[in-house]
Structure 1
Amino acid sequence: MKSIALRHDVTLEEKVAALPFRVAETAGFRPVRVIAGTSVLYTDGPKDMIKAVEQPMMIVGASLQSPPNSDEQRKQFAQAALYANQVIKNIRIERSDSFRLRGQDWHEIVARAVEADSGQPIVVMQSIRFAGDRYVRMVGLTREDQRDQNLPRFRAIADSVETKF
Protein backbone atom coordinates (compact mmCIF):
# COMPACT_ATOMS: atom_id res chain seq x y z
CA MET A 1 0.00 0.00 0.00
CA LYS A 2 1.52 3.27 -1.11
CA SER A 3 -1.12 5.74 0.01
CA ILE A 4 -4.22 6.12 2.08
CA ALA A 5 -7.12 8.49 1.61
CA LEU A 6 -9.41 9.55 4.41
CA ARG A 7 -12.99 10.28 3.54
CA HIS A 8 -14.98 12.92 5.34
CA ASP A 9 -17.90 11.83 7.51
CA VAL A 10 -20.99 11.12 5.48
CA THR A 11 -23.68 13.73 6.14
CA LEU A 12 -27.24 12.86 7.06
CA GLU A 13 -28.38 14.27 3.71
CA GLU A 14 -25.96 11.96 1.86
CA LYS A 15 -27.19 8.97 3.87
CA VAL A 16 -30.82 9.84 3.10
CA ALA A 17 -30.01 10.25 -0.61
CA ALA A 18 -28.41 6.78 -0.66
CA LEU A 19 -31.56 5.02 0.64
CA PRO A 20 -33.37 2.65 -1.75
CA PHE A 21 -36.33 5.06 -1.82
CA ARG A 22 -36.99 8.79 -1.90
CA VAL A 23 -39.49 10.66 0.25
CA ALA A 24 -40.85 13.45 -1.93
CA GLU A 25 -43.12 15.02 0.73
CA THR A 26 -41.94 15.22 4.33
CA ALA A 27 -45.08 17.05 5.58
CA GLY A 28 -43.03 19.25 7.90
CA PHE A 29 -41.05 16.35 9.39
CA ARG A 30 -37.26 16.30 9.33
CA PRO A 31 -34.90 13.34 9.06
CA VAL A 32 -33.04 12.54 12.27
CA ARG A 33 -31.10 9.38 11.48
CA VAL A 34 -30.59 6.68 8.88
CA ILE A 35 -30.64 3.13 10.18
CA ALA A 36 -28.63 0.34 8.50
CA GLY A 37 -28.79 2.03 5.09
CA THR A 38 -32.40 0.93 4.61
CA SER A 39 -34.50 3.11 6.94
CA VAL A 40 -34.88 6.71 7.98
CA LEU A 41 -36.42 8.17 11.14
CA TYR A 42 -38.35 11.43 10.75
CA THR A 43 -39.71 13.63 13.51
CA ASP A 44 -41.40 16.96 14.01
CA GLY A 45 -40.00 18.75 17.00
CA PRO A 46 -36.75 20.03 18.45
CA LYS A 47 -35.42 16.76 19.85
CA ASP A 48 -33.40 14.16 17.96
CA MET A 49 -33.79 11.56 20.72
CA ILE A 50 -37.49 10.93 21.20
CA LYS A 51 -38.82 9.33 24.36
CA ALA A 52 -42.40 8.40 25.15
CA VAL A 53 -43.55 9.74 21.75
CA GLU A 54 -43.13 13.26 23.12
CA GLN A 55 -43.12 14.42 19.52
CA PRO A 56 -44.51 12.64 16.45
CA MET A 57 -42.20 10.39 14.48
CA MET A 58 -42.28 8.25 11.39
CA ILE A 59 -39.94 5.51 10.26
CA VAL A 60 -39.73 4.63 6.56
CA GLY A 61 -37.82 1.49 5.71
CA ALA A 62 -37.26 -0.73 2.69
CA SER A 63 -36.97 -4.47 3.09
CA LEU A 64 -34.55 -6.70 1.27
CA GLN A 65 -36.84 -9.69 1.81
CA SER A 66 -39.63 -10.85 -0.45
CA PRO A 67 -43.14 -10.02 0.76
CA PRO A 68 -45.98 -12.51 0.95
CA ASN A 69 -48.01 -12.90 -2.24
CA SER A 70 -51.70 -13.18 -1.36
CA ASP A 71 -53.89 -10.49 0.20
CA GLU A 72 -54.64 -12.67 3.24
CA GLN A 73 -50.94 -13.41 3.79
CA ARG A 74 -50.14 -9.70 3.46
CA LYS A 75 -52.79 -8.81 6.05
CA GLN A 76 -51.35 -11.37 8.47
CA PHE A 77 -47.82 -10.16 7.68
CA ALA A 78 -48.78 -6.52 8.36
CA GLN A 79 -50.45 -7.37 11.65
CA ALA A 80 -47.49 -9.51 12.76
CA ALA A 81 -45.11 -6.65 11.92
CA LEU A 82 -47.17 -4.23 13.99
CA TYR A 83 -47.38 -6.59 16.98
CA ALA A 84 -43.61 -7.22 16.80
CA ASN A 85 -42.93 -3.52 17.50
CA GLN A 86 -41.38 -3.44 20.99
CA VAL A 87 -41.92 0.30 21.46
CA ILE A 88 -45.68 -0.20 21.81
CA LYS A 89 -48.00 -2.51 23.73
CA ASN A 90 -51.73 -3.03 24.30
CA ILE A 91 -52.39 -2.64 20.57
CA ARG A 92 -56.04 -2.28 19.53
CA ILE A 93 -56.50 -2.22 15.76
CA GLU A 94 -59.12 0.29 14.62
CA ARG A 95 -58.73 -0.25 10.90
CA SER A 96 -56.86 -2.78 8.76
CA ASP A 97 -57.29 -2.38 4.99
CA SER A 98 -55.75 -3.75 1.82
CA PHE A 99 -56.00 -1.56 -1.27
CA ARG A 100 -54.36 -0.80 -4.60
CA LEU A 101 -52.87 2.63 -5.31
CA ARG A 102 -50.87 3.70 -8.38
CA GLY A 103 -50.57 0.10 -9.52
CA GLN A 104 -49.19 -1.26 -6.25
CA ASP A 105 -50.72 -3.26 -3.43
CA TRP A 106 -50.82 -1.72 0.04
CA HIS A 107 -51.91 -2.75 3.50
CA GLU A 108 -52.57 -0.09 6.09
CA ILE A 109 -53.36 -0.37 9.79
CA VAL A 110 -54.41 2.36 12.20
CA ALA A 111 -54.32 1.34 15.85
CA ARG A 112 -54.40 2.71 19.36
CA ALA A 113 -51.62 1.55 21.65
CA VAL A 114 -49.57 2.47 24.68
CA GLU A 115 -45.93 3.51 24.51
CA ALA A 116 -44.18 0.67 26.35
CA ASP A 117 -41.91 2.63 28.71
CA SER A 118 -44.12 5.58 29.66
CA GLY A 119 -47.64 4.20 29.36
CA GLN A 120 -48.49 7.21 27.15
CA PRO A 121 -51.57 6.53 24.95
CA ILE A 122 -50.59 6.78 21.29
CA VAL A 123 -51.94 6.20 17.80
CA VAL A 124 -49.97 4.15 15.28
CA MET A 125 -50.36 4.22 11.52
CA GLN A 126 -48.53 1.48 9.61
CA SER A 127 -48.55 1.45 5.82
CA ILE A 128 -46.83 -1.26 3.83
CA ARG A 129 -46.43 -0.85 0.08
CA PHE A 130 -45.64 -4.06 -1.77
CA ALA A 131 -43.42 -3.42 -4.78
CA GLY A 132 -42.61 -6.58 -6.70
CA ASP A 133 -40.21 -8.70 -4.71
CA ARG A 134 -39.67 -6.04 -2.01
CA TYR A 135 -41.72 -3.77 0.18
CA VAL A 136 -41.54 -0.45 2.01
CA ARG A 137 -42.92 -0.22 5.54
CA MET A 138 -43.87 3.13 7.05
CA VAL A 139 -44.77 3.46 10.73
CA GLY A 140 -45.99 6.74 12.22
CA LEU A 141 -46.42 7.26 15.96
CA THR A 142 -48.17 10.19 17.60
CA ARG A 143 -49.72 11.03 20.93
CA GLU A 144 -53.43 10.34 21.00
CA ASP A 145 -54.29 14.03 21.45
CA GLN A 146 -52.42 14.86 18.19
CA ARG A 147 -54.08 12.14 16.13
CA ASP A 148 -56.18 14.40 13.87
CA GLN A 149 -53.20 16.64 13.18
CA ASN A 150 -50.66 13.92 12.39
CA LEU A 151 -52.45 11.04 10.65
CA PRO A 152 -52.93 13.11 7.46
CA ARG A 153 -49.24 14.05 7.61
CA PHE A 154 -48.23 10.39 7.93
CA ARG A 155 -50.46 9.63 4.92
CA ALA A 156 -48.79 12.43 2.90
CA ILE A 157 -45.34 10.98 3.60
CA ALA A 158 -46.41 7.41 2.80
CA ASP A 159 -48.07 8.46 -0.47
CA SER A 160 -44.95 10.33 -1.56
CA VAL A 161 -42.43 7.51 -1.16
CA GLU A 162 -40.82 6.63 -4.51
CA THR A 163 -38.89 3.38 -4.65
CA LYS A 164 -35.57 3.11 -6.46
CA PHE A 165 -35.89 -0.62 -7.01
Structure 2
Amino acid sequence: MIRFDMSAVRHAARTTFRLAMGGLLAAGLAVGVQAQDRTAISGTTVSLAPLKGFVPSTKFAGLENAEAKASVLVVELPPEAHPQLSTLFTNLETAKTNFAKQNITIDDAEDIDTAAGKGRILTGQQALGAATFDKWIVLLKGAKTVMITVQAPDDSDLDGDDIVAMLKTVSLGAEPTIDQKLAALPFRVRATEPFRVVDTFGGLGVLMTSGPLNVDSKGSQPMLIVTYQTGGQVAAGQLAAAGEKLLSTTRGFEKAEITKRDTVTFAGDKDGVMLSGTTTEGTTRKRFAQYMGLGPDGRFVRMIVSADESSYPSLEPAIKTIADSVAFAK
Protein backbone atom coordinates (compact mmCIF):
# COMPACT_ATOMS: atom_id res chain seq x y z
CA MET A 1 0.00 0.00 0.00
CA ILE A 2 1.37 3.40 -0.92
CA ARG A 3 1.29 6.09 1.72
CA PHE A 4 1.53 9.74 0.87
CA ASP A 5 3.29 12.40 2.88
CA MET A 6 1.55 15.71 2.26
CA SER A 7 4.42 17.81 3.58
CA ALA A 8 6.95 15.69 1.70
CA VAL A 9 5.10 16.29 -1.54
CA ARG A 10 6.12 19.88 -1.15
CA HIS A 11 9.79 18.97 -0.87
CA ALA A 12 11.01 17.32 -4.05
CA ALA A 13 13.90 15.32 -2.65
CA ARG A 14 12.04 14.10 0.42
CA THR A 15 8.96 13.32 -1.63
CA THR A 16 10.85 11.23 -4.12
CA PHE A 17 12.30 8.98 -1.46
CA ARG A 18 9.01 8.38 0.36
CA LEU A 19 7.01 7.79 -2.81
CA ALA A 20 9.70 5.50 -4.13
CA MET A 21 9.74 3.47 -0.95
CA GLY A 22 5.96 3.32 -1.03
CA GLY A 23 6.17 2.05 -4.59
CA LEU A 24 8.56 -0.67 -3.51
CA LEU A 25 6.08 -1.91 -0.95
CA ALA A 26 3.34 -2.07 -3.55
CA ALA A 27 5.38 -3.63 -6.34
CA GLY A 28 3.95 -6.77 -7.89
CA LEU A 29 6.47 -8.70 -10.11
CA ALA A 30 7.43 -9.71 -13.61
CA VAL A 31 9.11 -12.46 -15.66
CA GLY A 32 10.78 -14.23 -19.43
CA VAL A 33 12.87 -11.94 -22.00
CA GLN A 34 11.88 -11.58 -25.61
CA ALA A 35 14.65 -9.22 -26.69
CA GLN A 36 13.14 -8.74 -30.13
CA ASP A 37 9.96 -7.11 -28.78
CA ARG A 38 10.11 -3.89 -26.79
CA THR A 39 7.21 -2.59 -24.73
CA ALA A 40 6.73 1.05 -23.78
CA ILE A 41 5.41 1.50 -20.24
CA SER A 42 2.46 3.84 -20.66
CA GLY A 43 2.79 7.21 -18.97
CA THR A 44 6.54 6.84 -18.35
CA THR A 45 9.85 7.29 -20.17
CA VAL A 46 10.61 3.56 -19.89
CA SER A 47 10.69 0.89 -22.61
CA LEU A 48 12.01 -2.64 -22.17
CA ALA A 49 11.92 -6.15 -23.62
CA PRO A 50 9.66 -8.09 -21.23
CA LEU A 51 10.04 -11.69 -20.20
CA LYS A 52 7.57 -14.13 -21.71
CA GLY A 53 4.19 -13.95 -20.01
CA PHE A 54 4.43 -10.30 -18.96
CA VAL A 55 1.85 -7.86 -20.28
CA PRO A 56 1.13 -4.17 -19.56
CA SER A 57 -0.76 -3.68 -16.29
CA THR A 58 -4.02 -1.78 -16.04
CA LYS A 59 -3.44 -1.25 -12.31
CA PHE A 60 -0.09 0.54 -12.23
CA ALA A 61 2.77 1.72 -14.45
CA GLY A 62 4.47 -1.53 -15.37
CA LEU A 63 3.91 -5.15 -16.34
CA GLU A 64 2.14 -8.14 -14.81
CA ASN A 65 2.40 -11.89 -15.11
CA ALA A 66 -0.82 -13.16 -13.56
CA GLU A 67 0.14 -16.83 -13.75
CA ALA A 68 3.47 -16.26 -12.02
CA LYS A 69 2.00 -13.67 -9.63
CA ALA A 70 4.89 -11.45 -10.64
CA SER A 71 5.18 -7.80 -11.68
CA VAL A 72 7.45 -5.02 -12.91
CA LEU A 73 6.65 -1.65 -11.32
CA VAL A 74 8.03 1.59 -12.76
CA VAL A 75 8.25 4.61 -10.44
CA GLU A 76 9.43 7.90 -11.94
CA LEU A 77 10.42 10.81 -9.73
CA PRO A 78 11.87 14.29 -10.27
CA PRO A 79 15.53 14.43 -11.34
CA GLU A 80 16.37 16.00 -7.97
CA ALA A 81 15.69 12.63 -6.36
CA HIS A 82 18.60 10.85 -8.00
CA PRO A 83 21.44 12.06 -5.72
CA GLN A 84 19.53 11.04 -2.60
CA LEU A 85 18.51 7.64 -3.93
CA SER A 86 21.92 7.06 -5.49
CA THR A 87 23.50 7.40 -2.05
CA LEU A 88 21.05 4.82 -0.75
CA PHE A 89 21.74 2.37 -3.58
CA THR A 90 25.53 2.79 -3.70
CA ASN A 91 26.27 1.80 -0.12
CA LEU A 92 25.09 -1.74 0.60
CA GLU A 93 24.95 -1.28 4.37
CA THR A 94 22.95 1.94 3.99
CA ALA A 95 20.58 0.15 1.63
CA LYS A 96 20.16 -2.73 4.08
CA THR A 97 19.36 -0.36 6.95
CA ASN A 98 16.89 1.81 5.06
CA PHE A 99 15.05 -0.94 3.19
CA ALA A 100 14.73 -2.93 6.41
CA LYS A 101 12.36 -0.18 7.59
CA GLN A 102 10.09 -1.27 4.74
CA ASN A 103 10.42 -4.94 5.72
CA ILE A 104 12.69 -5.55 2.72
CA THR A 105 15.88 -7.55 3.23
CA ILE A 106 18.64 -6.50 0.84
CA ASP A 107 21.24 -9.17 0.09
CA ASP A 108 23.40 -7.71 -2.65
CA ALA A 109 24.09 -4.63 -4.80
CA GLU A 110 25.87 -4.35 -8.13
CA ASP A 111 26.29 -2.05 -11.11
CA ILE A 112 24.74 -3.09 -14.42
CA ASP A 113 24.91 -1.75 -17.96
CA THR A 114 21.51 -1.05 -19.50
CA ALA A 115 20.31 0.39 -22.79
CA ALA A 116 19.73 3.58 -20.78
CA GLY A 117 23.29 3.64 -19.39
CA LYS A 118 24.77 2.63 -16.05
CA GLY A 119 22.36 1.42 -13.41
CA ARG A 120 22.57 0.13 -9.86
CA ILE A 121 20.59 -2.95 -8.84
CA LEU A 122 19.67 -4.21 -5.38
CA THR A 123 18.44 -7.76 -4.80
CA GLY A 124 16.61 -9.11 -1.79
CA GLN A 125 13.32 -10.39 -0.38
CA GLN A 126 10.18 -9.06 1.25
CA ALA A 127 7.63 -10.88 3.39
CA LEU A 128 4.07 -9.89 2.49
CA GLY A 129 1.61 -11.70 4.72
CA ALA A 130 2.32 -15.41 4.59
CA ALA A 131 4.23 -15.15 1.31
CA THR A 132 7.83 -14.17 0.60
CA PHE A 133 8.79 -12.40 -2.61
CA ASP A 134 12.15 -12.04 -4.30
CA LYS A 135 12.90 -8.47 -5.40
CA TRP A 136 15.18 -6.79 -7.92
CA ILE A 137 15.29 -2.98 -7.66
CA VAL A 138 17.19 -0.92 -10.21
CA LEU A 139 17.90 2.82 -10.18
CA LEU A 140 18.48 4.74 -13.43
CA LYS A 141 18.87 8.37 -14.42
CA GLY A 142 17.28 10.03 -17.44
CA ALA A 143 14.94 12.99 -17.84
CA LYS A 144 13.43 11.59 -14.63
CA THR A 145 14.81 9.54 -11.77
CA VAL A 146 13.66 6.02 -12.61
CA MET A 147 13.28 3.14 -10.17
CA ILE A 148 12.08 -0.22 -11.46
CA THR A 149 11.09 -3.00 -9.07
CA VAL A 150 10.65 -6.60 -10.17
CA GLN A 151 8.94 -8.89 -7.68
CA ALA A 152 8.08 -12.61 -7.79
CA PRO A 153 7.18 -15.32 -5.27
CA ASP A 154 10.31 -16.99 -3.95
CA ASP A 155 8.98 -20.38 -5.09
CA SER A 156 8.33 -19.26 -8.66
CA ASP A 157 10.19 -20.64 -11.67
CA LEU A 158 11.58 -17.24 -12.58
CA ASP A 159 15.32 -17.15 -13.05
CA GLY A 160 17.25 -14.25 -11.52
CA ASP A 161 19.64 -14.08 -14.46
CA ASP A 162 16.68 -13.73 -16.84
CA ILE A 163 15.26 -10.89 -14.77
CA VAL A 164 18.58 -9.04 -14.74
CA ALA A 165 18.81 -9.58 -18.51
CA MET A 166 15.37 -8.02 -18.89
CA LEU A 167 16.37 -5.00 -16.81
CA LYS A 168 19.45 -4.53 -18.99
CA THR A 169 17.13 -3.91 -21.96
CA VAL A 170 15.60 -0.81 -20.34
CA SER A 171 15.83 2.36 -22.41
CA LEU A 172 14.59 5.83 -21.48
CA GLY A 173 12.86 8.19 -23.88
CA ALA A 174 11.23 11.60 -23.75
CA GLU A 175 8.97 12.47 -20.84
CA PRO A 176 5.28 11.98 -21.71
CA THR A 177 2.83 14.86 -21.54
CA ILE A 178 0.61 15.39 -18.50
CA ASP A 179 -2.40 14.18 -20.52
CA GLN A 180 -0.52 10.98 -21.43
CA LYS A 181 0.42 10.44 -17.80
CA LEU A 182 -3.17 10.98 -16.65
CA ALA A 183 -4.46 8.55 -19.29
CA ALA A 184 -2.07 5.88 -17.97
CA LEU A 185 -3.42 6.02 -14.40
CA PRO A 186 -5.68 3.19 -13.17
CA PHE A 187 -8.36 5.78 -12.40
CA ARG A 188 -9.81 8.87 -14.05
CA VAL A 189 -9.89 12.33 -12.50
CA ARG A 190 -10.40 15.86 -13.82
CA ALA A 191 -8.91 19.01 -12.33
CA THR A 192 -11.30 21.89 -11.68
CA GLU A 193 -10.22 25.50 -11.21
CA PRO A 194 -8.60 26.81 -9.14
CA PHE A 195 -6.86 23.40 -8.86
CA ARG A 196 -4.40 22.31 -11.55
CA VAL A 197 -2.38 19.14 -12.10
CA VAL A 198 1.26 19.39 -11.06
CA ASP A 199 2.30 15.86 -12.02
CA THR A 200 1.56 12.17 -11.64
CA PHE A 201 3.83 9.80 -9.74
CA GLY A 202 4.56 6.10 -9.92
CA GLY A 203 1.75 5.55 -12.43
CA LEU A 204 -0.51 5.41 -9.38
CA GLY A 205 -1.24 8.94 -8.23
CA VAL A 206 -1.72 12.56 -9.22
CA LEU A 207 -0.84 15.77 -7.36
CA MET A 208 -2.85 18.96 -7.75
CA THR A 209 -2.47 22.39 -6.21
CA SER A 210 -3.92 25.87 -6.39
CA GLY A 211 -1.39 28.68 -6.72
CA PRO A 212 1.73 29.57 -8.70
CA LEU A 213 4.16 27.13 -7.08
CA ASN A 214 4.81 23.53 -8.15
CA VAL A 215 7.18 22.92 -5.23
CA ASP A 216 5.63 24.58 -2.20
CA SER A 217 8.31 24.24 0.49
CA LYS A 218 6.35 26.34 2.99
CA GLY A 219 3.08 24.52 2.51
CA SER A 220 1.28 27.76 1.76
CA GLN A 221 -0.89 26.40 -1.08
CA PRO A 222 -3.78 23.95 -1.07
CA MET A 223 -2.75 20.41 -1.97
CA LEU A 224 -4.90 17.61 -3.40
CA ILE A 225 -3.68 14.05 -4.04
CA VAL A 226 -5.56 11.15 -5.63
CA THR A 227 -3.95 7.70 -5.54
CA TYR A 228 -4.76 4.08 -6.30
CA GLN A 229 -3.89 1.29 -3.89
CA THR A 230 -2.03 -1.70 -5.35
CA GLY A 231 -0.95 -3.73 -2.32
CA GLY A 232 -3.35 -5.77 -0.23
CA GLN A 233 -7.14 -5.56 -0.28
CA VAL A 234 -9.89 -4.07 1.87
CA ALA A 235 -12.94 -6.17 2.64
CA ALA A 236 -16.43 -4.77 2.18
CA GLY A 237 -17.49 -2.95 5.34
CA GLN A 238 -13.90 -2.26 6.39
CA LEU A 239 -13.28 0.86 4.31
CA ALA A 240 -13.99 3.33 7.12
CA ALA A 241 -11.58 1.60 9.49
CA ALA A 242 -8.93 1.38 6.78
CA GLY A 243 -9.40 5.07 6.02
CA GLU A 244 -8.86 6.13 9.61
CA LYS A 245 -5.76 3.97 9.91
CA LEU A 246 -4.33 5.39 6.69
CA LEU A 247 -4.96 8.93 7.83
CA SER A 248 -3.24 8.32 11.17
CA THR A 249 -0.11 7.05 9.39
CA THR A 250 0.07 9.87 6.82
CA ARG A 251 2.74 12.41 7.71
CA GLY A 252 1.15 15.66 8.82
CA PHE A 253 -2.10 13.92 9.74
CA GLU A 254 -0.96 11.68 12.60
CA LYS A 255 -2.81 13.87 15.08
CA ALA A 256 -5.55 15.06 12.77
CA GLU A 257 -8.88 15.72 14.47
CA ILE A 258 -11.70 14.01 12.60
CA THR A 259 -14.84 16.07 13.14
CA LYS A 260 -17.12 14.40 10.60
CA ARG A 261 -17.56 10.93 9.10
CA ASP A 262 -19.83 10.59 6.07
CA THR A 263 -20.94 7.89 3.67
CA VAL A 264 -20.60 9.24 0.13
CA THR A 265 -20.54 8.03 -3.45
CA PHE A 266 -16.90 8.11 -4.55
CA ALA A 267 -15.19 6.37 -7.48
CA GLY A 268 -18.50 4.65 -8.21
CA ASP A 269 -18.73 3.20 -4.70
CA LYS A 270 -22.08 4.15 -3.15
CA ASP A 271 -20.67 3.16 0.23
CA GLY A 272 -17.59 5.37 -0.07
CA VAL A 273 -16.21 7.11 3.00
CA MET A 274 -15.34 10.73 3.61
CA LEU A 275 -13.48 11.89 6.70
CA SER A 276 -13.07 15.60 7.36
CA GLY A 277 -11.64 17.74 10.10
CA THR A 278 -8.62 19.82 11.01
CA THR A 279 -4.89 19.37 11.35
CA THR A 280 -1.93 21.57 12.17
CA GLU A 281 1.08 21.99 9.88
CA GLY A 282 3.79 23.97 11.62
CA THR A 283 1.88 26.84 13.17
CA THR A 284 -0.86 26.81 10.52
CA ARG A 285 -4.21 25.23 11.20
CA LYS A 286 -5.71 23.54 8.17
CA ARG A 287 -8.91 21.84 7.15
CA PHE A 288 -8.80 18.55 5.29
CA ALA A 289 -11.01 15.94 3.68
CA GLN A 290 -10.21 12.35 2.77
CA TYR A 291 -12.36 10.38 0.33
CA MET A 292 -12.08 6.62 -0.27
CA GLY A 293 -13.97 4.39 -2.67
CA LEU A 294 -13.73 0.60 -2.97
CA GLY A 295 -13.49 -1.23 -6.28
CA PRO A 296 -14.89 -4.71 -7.04
CA ASP A 297 -11.49 -6.35 -6.47
CA GLY A 298 -10.95 -4.90 -2.99
CA ARG A 299 -8.63 -2.17 -4.25
CA PHE A 300 -9.45 1.45 -3.51
CA VAL A 301 -8.94 4.99 -4.70
CA ARG A 302 -8.08 7.63 -2.09
CA MET A 303 -8.29 11.41 -2.40
CA ILE A 304 -6.94 13.70 0.30
CA VAL A 305 -7.02 17.48 0.22
CA SER A 306 -5.91 20.15 2.69
CA ALA A 307 -5.90 23.94 2.76
CA ASP A 308 -5.76 26.80 5.25
CA GLU A 309 -8.94 27.13 7.28
CA SER A 310 -9.56 30.60 5.85
CA SER A 311 -9.42 29.50 2.19
CA TYR A 312 -10.95 26.03 2.43
CA PRO A 313 -14.63 27.09 2.23
CA SER A 314 -14.10 28.80 -1.13
CA LEU A 315 -12.46 25.62 -2.48
CA GLU A 316 -15.22 23.22 -1.45
CA PRO A 317 -17.22 23.42 -4.73
CA ALA A 318 -14.07 22.58 -6.75
CA ILE A 319 -13.11 19.81 -4.31
CA LYS A 320 -16.55 18.21 -4.67
CA THR A 321 -16.41 18.47 -8.47
CA ILE A 322 -13.01 16.79 -8.55
CA ALA A 323 -14.18 14.09 -6.14
CA ASP A 324 -17.24 13.46 -8.34
CA SER A 325 -14.97 13.00 -11.39
CA VAL A 326 -12.93 10.17 -9.85
CA ALA A 327 -13.65 6.75 -11.34
CA PHE A 328 -11.80 3.46 -11.74
CA ALA A 329 -10.40 3.04 -15.25
CA LYS A 330 -12.24 0.49 -17.35
TM-score (structure 2 length as normaliser): 0.45
RMSD of aligned C-alpha atoms? Answer: 2.2
Which residue of structure 1 aligns with residue 278 of structure 2? 112
Residue 192 (structure 2) pairs with residue 26 (structure 1): yes
Matched, 1:123 2:123: no
The match for 1:17 is: 183
Deviates more, 1:134-143 or 1:99-108: 99-108
- Displaced runs of 4+ in structure 1, greater than 6 A? none
CA separation in 2, counterparts of 1:7 and 1:44? 30
Deviations 1:43-83 (A, max 9, x none): 11100012343111100111123542242x22111101111
> How far 1:152 moved relative to its partner?
2.7
Structure 1 partner of 2:329: 164
Q: Say if 2:209 and 2:223, in contact at 8 Å, map to a contact too.
A: yes
Which residue number in structure 2 is paired with residue 92 of structure 1? 257
8 A contact 1:39–1:59 mirrored in 2: yes
Does the aligned pair in 2 maintain the 1:32–1:41 contact within 8 Å?
yes
- Of 273, 293, 302, which residue of structure 2 is paired with 1:137? 302
Distance in structure 2 (CA, Å) of the matches to 1:119 and 1:76: 29
The partner residue of 1:48 within 206, 209, 214 is: 214
Q: What residue identity is the alignment partner of 1:146?
A: S
* Percent of matched pairs sharing the same residue: 28
Contact 2:239 2:292 in 1 (8 A): no
Q: Which has the larger radius of gyration?
A: 2
Counterpart of 1:59 (choices 216, 219, 225) is 225
Question: 5 Å matches for 1:64-79?
Answer: 64-71=230-237, 73-79=238-244
Gap change, CA 1:11 and 1:76, over 3 Å in 2: same
Match of 2:256, SS? strand
How much does 1:16 deviate?
1.8
Task: State whether residues 22 and 162 of structure 1, in contact with CA within 8 Å, keep that contact through their aligned partners in structure 2.
Answer: yes
Please give the alpha-carbon distance, in whole angstroms, between the structure 1 residues aligned to 2:250 and 2:313.
23
For the Cα contact (< 8 Å) 1:112–1:121, is it kept in 2? yes
Please give the alpha-carbon distance, in whole angstroms, between the structure 1 residues aligned to 2:204 and 2:304.
Answer: 14
The letter of the residue matching 1:78 is G
Q: Larger RCO: Structure 1 or Structure 2 (Cα < 8 Å, ≥ 6 residues apart)? A: 1
CA shift, 1:92, in A, is 0.8
Q: CA deviation at 1:148?
A: 0.8
Q: Residue 76 of structure 1: SS of its match in structure 2?
A: helix
Give the unaligned 5+ runs of structure 2.
Answer: 1-34, 36-114, 116-170
Rate the CA distance shift 1:23–1:99 in 2: closer, same or farther, 3 A. Answer: closer
Shift of 1:145: 0.8
Structure-1 separation of matches of 2:183 and 2:233? 24
Give how far 1:103 is off. Answer: 5.3
Name the amino acid aligned to 1:39: G
Partner of 2:31: none
Aligned counterparts of 1:141 and 1:148: Cα–Cα separation in 2: 11
Q: Aligned pairs, how many?
A: 160
Give the drift of 1:123.
Answer: 0.7
Q: 1:99 to 1:66 in 2, by over 3 A?
A: farther
1:105/1:131 contact within 8 Å kept: no
Residue in structure 2 matched with residue 82 of structure 1 by the alignment: 247
